[in-house]
Amino acid sequence: MTAKTLLVTTGATVTFKALVINVLKQEFLSGAVKLGFKTVIIQYGNEIKDNVHVSEKFVEETLTNSDLFNRLNLKPISSNSDTFPKEKQLKIYSNSDFELLLLPFSNNINYYVNKADLVISHAGTGSIIDALRSSKKLLVVINDTLMDNHQTEVAAEFCRQNYCGSLGSKDITDSRIFLDAIQRQLVNSNTEFVTDTSNIIQSIIYEELVSL
């Protein structure tokens, strides 16, 4: 089985807590390794409030509560790797099975997208289009806790055109459902993306207007 790279990207705004928690589960990461992923990159957000890095604090708490490093025997390694850009906030951990990379945000996010065999993204239109323009297999996770957002409509339109799969926040709490969706996208996803996205955006706007 060829070693693959998985990128999880949450964007830089509100911390997508459900996605962070569920990709930092032992069951999920072990399952991803069984699917052939030897590198897992998690870009977890850059939310800052009152001089507190909310996203980073949440990730640290999640790792502490899950005892993930001990359970998976993950050890820190130098972030000054020739494989990845030198970024101050990049942290790399590894065991005998895979590498786990954690970073809040990157100006080089397209570098990580290009490295990935599959991208798991929040349902922000920009993040979706970035992945598809790079011809990446894509699974979109909708943050259905947000009020008055258009993520469901955005994801539905891209899914309708067979560019990606999608799950909701509740779906990913079950690692089996999450991993099954990843496996389906590895096989079924259409990566021949039309770079002119105007028809997709127009469809989303139309659906929103009709529902008013």
Please report where in the chains the tokens 């032992």 appear, as a residue. 26
Over 80: is that where the pLDDT of 196 sits?
Answer: no
pLDDT, tens only, 104-114? 999 888 999 99
What per-residue confidence (pLDDT) applies to 206? 44
Which neighbouring-strand residues pair with 141? 122, 167
pLDDT(11) > 90: no
Q: What is the DSSP string of 35-70?
A: TTEEEEEEE----EETTEEHHHHHHHHHHHHHTHHH
What six digits make up the tokens of 182? 């990843």
- Asked if 22 and 42 count as a contact pair (C-beta separation under 8 A), the reply is no
pLDDT score recorded for residue 195: 55
Please state, rounded to an integer, the average pLDDT across all residues of the chain: 86
Six token digits for residue 97: 């099975």
Tell me the pLDDT band of 209, cut-offs 50, 70 and 90. very low
Give me the residue label for tokens 């339109």.
157
Specify the residue for token string 């055109």.
161
Res. 210: pLDDT tops 50:
no
Higher per-residue confidence, 163 vs 56: 56
Examine the pLDDT at 203 and tell me if it is beyond 60.
Answer: no
pLDDT of residue 127: 87
User: pLDDT category, 141, cuts 50, 70, 90?
Assistant: very high
Q: What is the pLDDT of residue 194?
A: 61
Two tokens at 188?
Answer: 């079924």
Buried b (16+ CB within 10 A) or exposed e, 178-208: bbebbeebbeebeeebeeebeebeebbeeee
pLDDT over threshold 60, residue 198: no
pLDDT-derived band at 190 (thresholds 50, 70, 90) equals: low
Count of beta carbons in the 10 Å neighbourhood of residue 136: 22
Domains and CATH numbers, the chain: 4-211 (3.40.50.2000)
Tokens linked to 87: 């970024």
**What are the pLDDT digits (tens) for 35-93?**
999 999 999 999 999 999 999 999 999 999 999 999 999 999 876 666 677 788 899 99
Beta strand residue intervals within the chain, DSSP E? 4-9, 37-43, 48-49, 52-53, 75-77, 91-94, 99-103, 118-122, 137-142, 165-168
pTM, entire model: 0.88
Residues of the chain with pLDDT > 90, as a percent, come to 61
| Spatial contact of 28 and 175, defined as CB atoms under 8 Å apart | yes
